[in-house]
Amino acid sequence: MITDILTVAGKELREVFTFGDARGRSKYSLLVLVVVFGIVFPLQSGREWVDSPVNIMVWAWMPFLWVSGVVADMFAGERERHTLEALLATRLSDQAILFGKLLAALTYGFTLTWVIMIASLITVNIGFGKGELLFYPLDMTLAALGFSLLISGLSGCIGVLVSLRAGSVRQAQQLMSTGMLVLFLPFMLIQFIPKSWLDVAGNLMENAQPVQIAIGLAVFLLVVELILVAIARRLFQRSKLILD
pLDDT, tens only, 27-47: 567 788 788 888 888 888 888
Dihedral over alpha carbons 30, 31, 35, 38 (to 10 degrees): 60
d(CA 79, CA 86): 10
Percent of the chain with pLDDT over 90: 2
Average pLDDT over residues 196-201: 66
pLDDT class of 23 with cuts at 50, 70, 90: very low
Q: Is the pLDDT of residue 24 over 60?
A: no
Q: Is the pLDDT of residue 146 over 70?
A: yes
Please state the pTM of the whole predicted model: 0.77
DSSP secondary structure string for all residues of the chain: -HHHHHHHHHHHHHHHHHH--TT---TTHHHHHHHIIIIIHHHHHTTHHHH-THHHHHHHHHHHHHHHHHHTTTTHHHHHTT-HHHHHTSS--HHHHHHHHHHHHHHHHHHHHHHHHHHHHHHHHHHH-TTS-----HHHHHHHHHHHHHHHHHHHHHHHHHHHH-SSHHHHHHHHHHHHHHHHHHHHHGGGS-HHHHHHHHHHHHHS-HHHHHHHHHHHHHHHHHHHHHHHHHH--HHHHHH-
Specify the pLDDT at position 187.
55
Phi-psi region of 92 (alpha: psi -120 to 50; beta: other; left: phi over 0): beta
Biggest CA-to-CA distance, the chain: 63
Write down the mean pLDDT value for the chain: 77
d(CA 148, CA 35): 19
pLDDT class of 22 with cuts at 50, 70, 90: very low
More confident residue, 60 or 98: 98
List, for residues 220-242, the tens digit of each pLDDT value.
989 999 998 898 888 887 666 65
Residue type for 41, please? F
List, for residues 78-129, the tens digit of each pLDDT value.
777 777 777 777 888 888 888 988 898 888 888 888 888 889 889 989 988 8
Q: Is the pLDDT of residue 56 over 70?
A: no
d(CA 181, CA 118): 29
d(CA 147, CA 150): 5
Query: Both ends of the chain: CA-CA distance in Å?
Result: 26
